[in-house]
Each structure stands twice: as structure tokens, then as C-alpha cells.
Structure 1
Amino acid sequence: MHAAAFSPRGGVVPKTTRLRGQSIIEYVLIIAVIGLVIVFAGPGVAGAIRNQFNLVCNTLDSGTSGGIEGGGASGGGSAGADSAIVQTAVAKDAKDWTLDEQKAVAEDIAAKGEASPAYAKAKAAMDAGTEFSMKLTNSDILKYRIIGINHDDLADGSGKAGLTFLTTSPTISSYMCYKGSKSNAGGWEKSELRQKMNSGEIWNLMPTEFQGKVKRVKKLTNNAGSGEEILGDEENKNISATATLDKLFLLSYSEIVPAAHGEGEIIPSLPGTPIGGPTHNWAYKYPWTSSEGTQYEAFQGKVTERYSNNACLQLDSEGFRWEWWERTVNPCSSTGFLNVDANGNPSDSCDQKASLYVCPAWCF
């Protein structure tokens, strides 16, 4: 055990800090190398080395504060390994991001918003529909994309999840409720599909590395059920959306389509009404259909039809198109939930005992 050093004036002598002078030497040497390469190797190779130089500089800076060893990251951002992972992600094509990089980017965006160095690249990947993939525990490959940035509320109330992802491949299928179920009473909250996605067989398909990164978020849904047979028409109209806390979830109708029309607007036809027969918009007759979250950023300007086809919602595979579940109950019936049909119509519906494809969404 070493004795502490004491100052002649009393008290413990403060520990001196050690400047990282070698960092300056590293910068000078790297700049010199780049200069030589520009002369002898041409601008193409020099540009590649320059990019790596910038990455090294950012990484060195993330571990220092004012050149003092042990200092935290400036500006209150992420430091150390997380910052290095973000810088690595920024330097590569988004389609090649690993799960670790996706998580680090998401957390950096959650902390810094548009000021994150990864924000522009993540948004560009979302806008382009860039797909990622991972192998499930049954060896199937699940594809997915970014659909939201700082969109979903974290379950612990601490803020927003940086990135929201949606499955884009017909990899998993399931019924919504057990085959003995006679209604959609209890909605998404009581559905068997929700249980399977958060603790059962679908959750268990997800690799351990993935499971440890998912953020639990708060999802608003009509969890009472629907239809006059359950509630009566007036009660059905006045249902309030309630929250569930989910790791994996399905999208709701209002998270897919644009904000609702004005009250009383007439549209040509709706599911459950005669073709061509005028009827009020769901937002007027069933206000809760507009209260299950807001449209994800990836769909803005691309999903324009509430009751018709949208190409960007089509679930394609090997020349076939498939239907996929939403978590919203059928507003017009006590049986069934909404689904996106093969042509990308988000207002289709199917009996809860049917088996459709499941497109899990989640947040990092």
C-alpha cells in the first residue's frame, strides 16, 4: 500500500494529468503520409486514405477532452466504444450495418437528434427502403428496414427510441387468436399473437444478440374489441386507446396511413359497406382508429391511400404478394383484425383465426 503524498500547505497533492502529446505527433505523421500519397498515387487512393484519417481523428477525439487523458466526450454525447461504433457506421454503407452498429446509431440519434453524425445516413437509408437481414434461430432469414426515427415512446418514460424497424419479408406466419376464439374482444393486448411475439415462439425465433438490444416501447391500441355485438354502436364509437408495453409489435392502421380526414367527409366506399355506397370516414364514425399512433416517417408521402392500394406496403416474395396482420381490430365487426392485403390496401380485414404473415416491428 502506498502512502498518499501531502502538500506542505496541508491536504493531499492533486494527481497530475498527463497530456497526450503523442496524438499531435500522430496527426502530423498521418498528414505527411497523405501528402506523399497525393503526389505519387493520385487523388483516388488519397481520398480513401483521407477518409480513414478523418475516422481516426474522430475516434481519437472521442476519447479525449482538451487533450487530457481520462476526459469525457465533449458536448454530452456518447463516448468511448459507443462513439467509435457510430463513427464506423457513418463511414460505411448503411446496408452493411451490423446489429451492434444499428443499436449504437439508434441510441446516438435518440440522444442527439438531427445533430447525431449518423442521422443523415439513417434517414437516407429509411427514405431509400434499405434492407437489413438477420438469421433466425430456425435458420430462416428475416429482412427488415427502418420506418421511424425518434418516433416511439420508450416504456420507461425516458424519451424516444432512436430507430423503429419493420419486417419486410414473408418469413413468419400465425393466426391472431386461438382457433376457439369467437370475437376480437380484448384486442391486441389479449391476442395470442402478441403473447407469442413478446415471450413465446416468435420471440424465441429471434437470435439472442438481437433480443438483448430491443427497447420496450409503449403502443396505443383499442384493446376493448369492436362491433355492435360486443359494445353497441355508440360505445364502439367512443372507445379510448390504451397502452401496452411491447418488445415486438404489429403496426396499427393509424401508424400506416396519413392523418385522418376532417369530420364527416364522404368517401366512395369502405370495407363492410356496399361498393360505391357513400359512408362516413372511419375517423368520424370510429375516432379511435386515428388514436393508435401516428404515421411512421417512412410512409409519409408514399402511403397515400387509406382504403386502396399502396405499392410500398406490398409484401413481395418470388413473384407472389402476401397479406400481413395489423394490430387494429376490425372497426365494423366483432370478429377479425385489420390487415394489409396483397396489393397494399391497409383497410382489409380477416378473421382472427386465419393465418396470415406476421411483420414484427421493434425499436433499438
Structure 2
Amino acid sequence: MDTTNTAPGDKLIRLDTFDTAVAVDPSAEDDAKRRFMTLILQTAHRNNGNIGHVLRATNTSGEVFAVKLLKDNAILSGQAPDRSAEQSAAHLANTAALFEEYRHLYTVSHLRGFPRVYGYGSCEDDPLILMEWVEGTSLKQALPLLPHDASGGLTTQMVAAVGNAVLRALLMTQVLVNPVIHRDLSPANIMFRTTSRTLEQQIADCSFDPCLIDMGSATMALGDDTITRRADIWRFATPAYAAPEMLTQDIEGIAALRRSPAIDVYALSSILYQLYSGRKPFDFESTDAAATGSFYLVKTKTKPAPLEPRCESDEALVQIIMKGLSVEQCDRPTEQQMLEVLSTYLTDAESEGREGTGDEAAIDIDSGTHLKVDVAGERAREVLDQARHDATTRRRFIIGGVVAVVAGLSVVGAATHSFGIPDYLGGIRGSLDDYTWDQLQKISLKIKAAETRSEAREIAQRYHLLDADGHIPYPCTKRVKLTNGLEVGAQLVGIRHDELLDGTGKAGLTFMFDAGVAERNAAAEPPSAGKADCELREWLDGDGLKLLPNKLRALIKSVKKVSNNAGAANSASCLSELPATLWLPAMVELCGTQPPDSFAEGYHYLADIYNGEGKEYQLFRELKVSPYSTNETMVRQWKGKDTCWWERTVSPDSSETEGTLYINRVGHDGDAFTYATPADKPNKRTCVIPGFCI
């Protein structure tokens, strides 16, 4: 081991072993080793955890990483420690725990809201994890900078924004075959990334870019009893925020209780309680809990101090927080229910162009009337009523005994057809993001070559691109780093859907990005015709395509896309077929067909035009996207704010009446029908979110 000083306090180390978290092509193995095997540890940058500490490190190319080491490692001291038998046993257990942490980090590494992990290695037999160094500010550090109410707590909107950001990250793990529970949420473990937007910008937008760090106490919902006894069941969490079941080890069924998402709900509720009131739910400082270790008894035998709403409209927020602090897991709301309540407090702030003030938002209706909506009241109360009903249902289920729950987990594990070593060697991975683009192209070709649609779906299921019911997992994306520095997800939307331009059949896999790749108008000047004339179409085939990494760009297949290329029209004769590499979705591809009588008298012809542009993709059909309502799953973001995004569907009637080309968009609220706007001068900022086939 070389620990030569490269700067005061820094250490140059060379790893003995290193396994990358993502499979590396054998021809690129040497490059990977050169990238990761020699590191400079910057010991001045250090964060301590339960069993180890995290140091900032750079490689010889100047890339920045985080290295997690055990606390008793030999790397920093430069010599092997002289451990007693007891210390050696503890070191062995901590090594197992560190590898468990790596396993959990690897599982969530591709999900938005969690740090990237690069691999697991060793230096002089001391284990380490190499992962992303998250540039940002923790919630604990950011607290003084966030807007406060006169009562001493944060403003209601800011409390909701923080909770919303954390819940969206937690919910991402629910798409995994084996969901991950963080189990140690605290203001210190919630980071706000500042690589894309400064903290000041995030505060101003009331929209945060979270990253949940320190997975040392994390676990998987479907766990292993052996590792549970050795390195899981004895782990604890930050007492001020932890659920009671994380503060004891001697109650019946503790292992099953410790594998529930309800643990994260409790911890987040504790944090939101503190943000809203300026104090923690339990005053451990004025009791002897810290001295006696009786945190569990305090949280189960006493109630948190009452949380009083500052105004009537805050009642739903306070109620959902207090429900989250219930002693029994079955009485707590789900993460989704909490998200729905908190989101009602963000509607006004996140929506552009809404009229009204206070707790009411005015929504324009075509008739010219206005519908008054109590954003933070009625909808929140509906969610709370549903949470109470669900709590009763969960209680009935749990009465059967924790043993039944554990048995049920085993059944779930079998039902998910979890893959093992033989599957892995056969090219099968656990989820979309685990594949390389080359591997996905090979799967796509297999699906394309299938003799029947049923056979194609079986192939997609075998490779875990469809779930056991034949549905496309959502949200489940493959992360893509664009050349403009943005990182977006590629979401699978269809299987054998689009006709290839070369006439050889249908592309096996169709993807769409989950966020904007750029923000721009559809045209620089009013176009003379329809979609074919739009500058945006030309941009997609040129500069837009250049945003993609070379490996992906080389695999994309051109397809045939139908669109209205005339503009103002009153029959389907305006439709024609154009080649497309990167393309915008048609309205019908998002929300399905519309019958003629769904349009006003005199406009029935719109159905033939809109419906003629294609067929609805499987994903959007499963997400129940409708032309008659908003849909939360269609909400997309640009720089942390909900945004409108372009369709390729021209609005022929608006184009005729307005005398300029109007193009439809998906609205910032997820409405796929009502946001047509001039191509050259949209009334709201509009993003480009294209699709592609391989």
C-alpha cells in the first residue's frame, strides 16, 4: 500500500482489488482500473457515520469521488492495527455490514434521489466503497436559510416542498423487485444537490433536488435472516427521528417490522414536525432518555407535543404529519398518501398562469367560467379519509400475526421471479438500468424477430422489461448523460410498436425521456404549413440528436411517423408520413383515440386527424392517460419546475382561426389536450421531450 503524501493531510493509495458496480466490457477493463485504482484521499473532507467515515477523493484525472472506509481501517494510519480477538470479530461484522451497505447503494444507484455508486474494493485487506461525492447542502445546514414563519417554523409551503422532494425519492425505490428502506432519515442525511441549481434557486422555486445519503442502516423489504441477525437487526437510527421499532431489539416480530416503508414515513414525519414547529416531536434533552437508553419507551408510552396548525388551511398538513408519528405501523399513512397531501400545498406555487390568491386557484374553463378549487383543503381531507380506511385494512391484515407477514414476504419473493447467477450469465439483469445500450439493442432485435406479439412479450418479460403481469414498470428508467450536461431517464413506453423506416418490421423497443432535453420554441418564425415545416423537427434530427451520447446515438433506428403536415385542415388528407430518428409524441400516442362526438358540433373531423397519427403506447394506456383530464404521471420538469412539453400534433382548428400554426402540448399539470399554442410564440415555456427506437 502506497500512502505517500501528495499534499498536507492527503494520502495517495492504490487499491488491491476493485469490482465495478456496472459490468465493464473486457476490452475496457484496463481503462476502468486506471480510473478507479489509484486515488488521492483528501482527509480534511470527512463525514462520519455509524461504522465508517466518508472521505473526498480524486483520481489521477481529477474526477471527484467519495470513499467510505471502516473506522478502524489501516489506510489512514499506514499500518495494520493490532486488534484483539473481540476487535477482530467486530471488524469482521462491520465488513459484512459495509458490504450490505454497498449492496443497497448499488440497488438504488440508478434511481433519482440517491448517490451513484461506482464499485467495491479493498486496500491492504481493508474494504471500501467508491461512490459519488454529492455536491450540495444538507437539510440540517440549509435550515437557517429556508423561509421561516413568524411562529419560528418554516413556512407551510416550504415544509411541503421538502417533504414532497424526499417522498418522491423514497417512492422511486418501490419500482424495484426488492424495495429498499432507508431507515435513518434525518436532516443530516437529506442532501440538496447544487450541481444544476444553487440552493438559493431551489428555495426560490420551492422545488428541491434531493439526494438521500448514508445508507448504513438501510435494508431491503425482502431480507435474509442470516445477515439480519449478524449486521441488520442490531442497527439503530437517529433517536430524535427514528420510528420506535428502530430503537429496540427485544419485541416480538422485530425483524419483519424493521423491513417496512412505514419506518421512513415515521422519520420523515418527525422531520416535517420539526420544520413546521421549530422543535422536535419528543424532548429527549429534558428527560433521562439519553442516559438510560429508553428512547423506545418514550416514543411508545408518551405522545409527542401537540402540533397546532397555524391556520385552518394547514389542518390537513398537521394531521398527516401526526398520523405519520403513530406508534403502530398500520396506523401510519403510506408514502403515496403523504405525497398527495403535501402536493396540495404546492399547487399554486408550482403552476404557472393560475389566477387567484391564498388557498384558492382559479382554473380557466372553455366556457369562460372559473372553477374555484380549495387546493390545500378538500383534496387533502379526501386523502386523509382514504388513509384512515387503509389503516383499518392493514390492521386487520396484521392481526393474523407477524409470522404471516414474514411468510407473505417469502411468497412475494417467489412471485417476483428474482434472477440469480445463471440468469445473470445468460444476459438477464434485474431492471432496465442494469443493461448497457448494446444489450438492450440485442433484446430489441430478439423482440423484433419474434413470430407473434405474445412471443415478443414473453421475451420482454424474461429480460424484466415487463413485469409478471405483462405491464411496463413505471417509473423505471435507464439514466442518460447528455452532452449539454443534463442527466435524464429513458423510460420504456412500447414493445414492438413503431414501423421501421427500412421496411423490415417493427422496432423491438421504444423509449421516451422522462424530462426535458432542451427548452425551445417549435419554430423561430410562423411556419407556412404543418409539422414538416417546423424548425423543431429539423433541430431534433441535428443538434437534438447530438445531445445523446455516441453509443446510444449509433443504435437508434429511424421509424415512420404520421403527422399533420398541412397545418389548418378539416380532413385526414392533411396527414402524411415522414421519417424520424428523434421524434415528438403525437397526442393519440399519449392519450389514445377520441370519438368524433367528443368534439363540438362542426368539429367532428378533428377525431380523424388526431386518431390518424398513430396508436397509444402501452405505458400510457396502462397509466390511464386520458384526453379528458389531467394525469400526474404526465407531469414533467425543467430545472426543477413542472413544465409544458411539445407534442407533434398540430391543432388544425386553432391554426385556421388564429391564422398561424398552433401545436399541441402536454400541460404542466399533465393535461395532454388543452395546451395548444403558437409554434413560434408559446404562451408558456415549453420543453422538448423526444422519443426514440432501438
Partner of 1:147: 493
Output the TM-score relative to the length of structure 2.
0.36
Cα pair distance change 1:319/1:141, threshold 3 Å: closer
Which residue, out of 493, 501, 505, partners 1:159?
Answer: 505
Which residue, out of 655, 679, 684, partners 1:352?
Answer: 679
Task: Please list every run of at least 4 consecutive aligned residues from structure 1 whose deviation after the TM superposition is greater than 6 angstroms.
Answer: 42-45
For 2:625 and 2:672, the matched residues in 1 are separated by 11
The alpha carbon displacement at 1:333 in A equals 1.9
**Structure 1: runs of 5 or more not aligned:** 1-41, 57-86, 227-234, 268-278
Structure 2 counterpart SS, 1:126? coil
Which residue, out of 663, 666, 679, partners 1:337?
Answer: 663
The alpha carbon displacement at 1:303 in A equals 3.3
**Equivalent position amino acid for 1:212 in 2:** A
The alpha carbon displacement at 1:173 in A equals 1.3
Partner of 2:430: 92
Output the TM-score relative to the length of structure 1.
0.66
For 2:226 and 2:507, the matched residues in 1 are separated by 39
Cα pair distance change 1:211/1:257, threshold 3 Å: same
Query: How well do the aligned residues superpose, as a CA RMSD in angstroms?
Result: 2.8
After superposition, the C-alpha distances for 1:78-98 in whole angstroms (9 at most, x for unaligned) are xxxxxxxxx32x233323222
- Residue pair 1:126, 1:145 contacting (<8 A) in 2 also: no
Cα pair distance change 1:168/1:54, threshold 3 Å: closer
Structure 1 counterpart SS, 2:551? helix
For 1:309 and 1:94, the matched residues in 2 are separated by 27
The alpha carbon displacement at 1:170 in A equals 2.6
**Equivalent position amino acid for 1:206 in 2:** L
Structure 1 counterpart SS, 2:466? helix
Partner of 1:218: 560
Cα pair distance change 1:238/1:96, threshold 3 Å: closer
The alpha carbon displacement at 1:128 in A equals 2.5
Task: Give the 5 Å matches for 1:1-364.
Answer: 51-53=420-422, 56=425, 87-88=426-427, 90-112=428-450, 113-115=453-455, 118-120=459-461, 121-124=464-467, 126-178=472-524, 180-181=525-526, 183=527, 185-198=528-541, 200-226=542-568, 235-261=569-595, 263=596, 265-266=597-598, 279-280=600-601, 284-316=605-637, 320-334=641-655, 335-347=661-673, 348-353=675-680, 354=682, 355-364=685-694
Structure 1 counterpart SS, 2:512? strand
For 1:282 and 1:165, the matched residues in 2 are separated by 33
- Residue pair 2:593, 2:610 contacting (<8 A) in 1 also: no
- Residue pair 1:216, 1:246 contacting (<8 A) in 2 also: yes
For 1:343 and 1:186, the matched residues in 2 are separated by 29
- Residue pair 2:431, 2:465 contacting (<8 A) in 1 also: no
The alpha carbon displacement at 1:251 in A equals 0.3
The alpha carbon displacement at 1:222 in A equals 0.8
For 1:95 and 1:283, the matched residues in 2 are separated by 43
**Equivalent position amino acid for 2:591 in 1:** V
Structure 2 counterpart SS, 1:201? helix
For 1:144 and 1:109, the matched residues in 2 are separated by 18
Partner of 1:22: none
Cα pair distance change 1:149/1:53, threshold 3 Å: closer
Cα pair distance change 1:361/1:317, threshold 3 Å: same
Cα pair distance change 1:266/1:253, threshold 3 Å: closer
After superposition, the C-alpha distances for 1:324-354 in whole angstroms (9 at most, x for unaligned) are 0000111222232000001111111111113
The alpha carbon displacement at 1:286 in A equals 4.9
For 2:521 and 2:577, the matched residues in 1 are separated by 22
- Residue pair 1:187, 1:328 contacting (<8 A) in 2 also: no
After superposition, the C-alpha distances for 1:156-187 in whole angstroms (9 at most, x for unaligned) are 11100001101111331111011x32x4x432
After superposition, the C-alpha distances for 1:287-343 in whole angstroms (9 at most, x for unaligned) are 211100010110114234213311121114676311000001112222320000011
**Equivalent position amino acid for 1:52 in 2:** I
The alpha carbon displacement at 1:260 in A equals 2.2
Tell me the number of residue pairs that the alignment of Structure 1 and Structure 2 aligns: 265
For 2:586 and 2:420, the matched residues in 1 are separated by 42
For 1:148 and 1:54, the matched residues in 2 are separated by 24
